[in-house]
Amino acid sequence: MTQELAPTLRDQPAARSAGWWRDAVIYQVYVRSFADSDGDGIGDLRGVRDRLPHLADLGVDAVWLTPFYASPQADGGYDVADYRSVDPLFGDLRDAGDLVGEAHRLGLRVIVDIVPNHTSDRHAWFRAALTGGPGAPERGLYHFRPGRGEQGELPPNDWESVFGGPAWTRTDTGDWYLHLFAPEQPDLNWEHPAVREEFTSVLRFWLDLGVDGFRVDVAHGMIKAAGMPDIGMREQAKMIGAQVLPFFDQDGVHEIHRSWRRLLDSYDGERIGVAEAWAPTPERLALYVRPDELHQAFNFQFLTCDWDATAMRGVIDASLAATRSVGAPTTWVLSNHDVVRHTTRYGGGPAGLGRARAAALLALALPGSAYVYQGEELGLPEVADLPDAVRQDPAFFRGDGQDGLRDGCRVPLPWSGSSQPFGFGPGGSWLPQPDSWKELTVEAQTGDPGSTLELYRSAIALRKELPGLGDGEMEWLPAPEGVLAFARPGLVCTLNTLSAKAPLPVPGRPLLSSAALEFTGGTARIPGGTCVWWAV
């Protein structure tokens, strides 16, 4: 039986090629909620800088910072009023430079968010477009259109905002402007050369400051179908990622990414671009990471996959096949600032946490690059019961109260101590933290071998040590129903997705397990919802 699980993988050094990003572990910092240095209850750049040692200890390769630019914060900073300045909430340009410098000193790369699909309605361009009236040249930088109906009282087409309601808002002069997100986020017109020139210059600004790359927000949205045709269906947000829409995943976006790749390549130090792209299939997603486009794209199919062995295997195979076809690495993403934390998605409570720990070991064992969203290394659950009065997510105010409640995954991190704000900063915390988080602080988990934090630390450290992890090939091994088993060079990874224990022939020496194992003779009893790494 032992032989059944033995790896037959050929060593494939040829599959490995240069590029730090091909197997990087990238940690997402949601700046507002990571660490606060000045006591205003809102995380900031100095707070991040002061806590960088936590990330160095964790062993990640890079940090992705969510937007910290000047912004009225209508959508947590994804509404940028000035792309070349830091919002006073988060610090100033010097703090940004210090943060990048300190990260580099600790061996961490820094990726910043760039938001090209839309600006804030307070951006100088949009203000000029509004105040200048219908003849203002700045109107050409956005999508202004006359309305339909006798008096132009109906929106120009039937497109809906991702946050709910129409994607159009009427101006005082009677025409309408397009915003695929909140009304405070007017969409830019990427057919206009000035828009392209401006973003090239903004990217240069941050590259010159030393950043190692960009996470490209809504990388699938910049180009709209010619003529902006009606869709003819309601609840369009539910189709995002399921089909090409006239406002998402249009082929024209790729030319923009190609030009950005040329710009990135003109700098030294392997600067990268990461696409936040919701594409209907892994094949269409792979188009964003062709050799002359961006380096990585978030694999949302993996994030949205159910806790089910067959479904997971299908997504893993499809993701790897698609990225392999273009020579790019796959990314493994379980959580981010827009979705319910995976501990809760996988059922919550001890079982949900167990699965989340197992999923982390799975993600870190698969070929490619892995993302860690702040707090998942602490096993934080979603905070579901926030009072409406403290919520800030624009989706909450525009939606029907069902979807799009994104504040619950954005609650500030617990660092230390036994009462709020748990070391988040010298003041309070912009969203209340549950009292139970005193058990989940970095301080409480450090040194506890059973803690989720130590599990992540061990897994990331092993990933660096073992040459068979990271970039390269994998091979499925036979396994009972509900169990996944695959080989990487020198390692076998097994995941029991069932709730019951699964007996398995011992495939090797256990290196790391997300829960305690039992052995009888040559058989290991893997608890439900557990992932194990075995040395072979």
List the Cα angle 89/94/97 in 5-degree steps: 110
Nearer to ligand GLC, 115 or 318 (CB): 115
Close Cβ partners of 237 (under 8 Å, ≥ 6 residues apart) = 160, 161, 162, 163, 164, 403
Quote the DSSP letter at residue 118. Answer: B
* Closest distance to ligand GLC from the beta carbon of 67 (Å): 8
Q: Binding of ligand GLC at residue 69 (CB under 6 A)?
A: no
75 catalytic residue (yes or no): no
Marked catalytic residue, from 79, 87, 138, 276: 276
Selection from Mg ion, ligand GLC, none that 42 binds (CB < 5 to 8 A by kind) is: Mg ion
- In three-state form (DSSP H/G/I as H, E/B as E, the rest C), the secondary structure along 246-259 is CCECCCCHHHHHHH
Q: Binding of ligand GLC at residue 87 (CB under 6 A)?
A: no
Of residues 36, 75, 158, 473, which one binds ligand GLC by CB under 6 A?
A: 75
Selection from ligand GLC, Mg ion, none that 44 binds (CB < 5 to 8 A by kind) is: Mg ion
Q: Binding of ligand GLC at residue 181 (CB under 6 A)?
A: yes
217 catalytic residue (yes or no): yes
Selection from Mg ion, ligand GLC, none that 338 binds (CB < 5 to 8 A by kind) is: ligand GLC
> Of all residues in this chain, which one has the CB nearest to Mg ion in the complex?
44
> Strands (DSSP E) along 283-441, which ranges?
296-297, 331-332, 369-373
Q: What's the rounded Cα separation, in Å, for the pair 76 and 61?
A: 25
Q: With contacts defined by CB under 6 A, how many residues of the chain interact with ligand GLC?
A: 9
Q: Which residue has the tokens 């190692």?
A: 212
Q: How far is CA 391 from the centre of its chain?
A: 21
> Residue 162: how many CB atoms within 10 A of its CB?
23
Selection from ligand GLC, Mg ion, none that 217 binds (CB < 5 to 8 A by kind) is: ligand GLC
Nearer to Mg ion, 36 or 187 (CB): 36
* Closest distance to ligand GLC from the beta carbon of 76 (Å): 6
Of residues 102, 191, 338, 454, which one binds ligand GLC by CB under 6 A?
A: 338
* Closest distance to Mg ion from the beta carbon of 62 (Å): 23
Selection from ligand GLC, Mg ion, none that 121 binds (CB < 5 to 8 A by kind) is: none
Among 143, 220, 215, 152, smallest CA distance to 178 is for 143
* Closest distance to ligand GLC from the beta carbon of 30 (Å): 9
Quote the DSSP letter at residue 7. Answer: -
* Closest distance to Mg ion from the beta carbon of 194 (Å): 35
Close Cβ partners of 38 (under 8 Å, ≥ 6 residues apart) = 44, 46, 47, 425, 426, 427
- In three-state form (DSSP H/G/I as H, E/B as E, the rest C), the secondary structure along 396-440 is HHHCCCCCCCCHHHCCCCCCCCCCCCCCCCCCCCCCCCCHHHHHC
Close Cβ partners of 534 (under 8 Å, ≥ 6 residues apart) = 491, 492, 493, 494, 506, 507, 508, 509, 510, 511
* Closest distance to Mg ion from the beta carbon of 415 (Å): 14
Burial of 372 (0-12, 13-18, 19+ CB in 10 A): buried
Q: What's the rounded Cα separation, in Å, for the pair 73 and 40?
A: 15
Nearer to ligand GLC, 121 or 276 (CB): 276
Marked catalytic residue, from 95, 113, 217, 376: 217
* Closest distance to ligand GLC from the beta carbon of 136 (Å): 25
Nearer to Mg ion, 35 or 487 (CB): 35
CA distances to 286, 302, 326 from 14, in Å: 21, 26, 16
Nearer to ligand GLC, 277 or 322 (CB): 277
* Closest distance to ligand GLC from the beta carbon of 75 (Å): 5
Quick one: tokens of 235? 């609840």
From residue 258 to residue 277, the character string flagging contacts with ligand GLC as x (rule: CB under 6 A) and all else as - is ------------------x-
Selection from ligand GLC, Mg ion, none that 23 binds (CB < 5 to 8 A by kind) is: none
Q: What's the rounded Cα separation, in Å, for the pair 311 and 18?
A: 32
Selection from Mg ion, ligand GLC, none that 284 binds (CB < 5 to 8 A by kind) is: none
Q: Which residue has the tokens 């940028």?
A: 80
* Positions in 193-252 near ligand GLC (CB under 6 A): 217-218
Nearer to ligand GLC, 242 or 321 (CB): 242
Q: For binding to ligand GLC (CB under 6 A), which residues are involved? A: 75, 78, 115, 181, 217-218, 276, 337-338
Q: List active site positions.
A: 217, 276
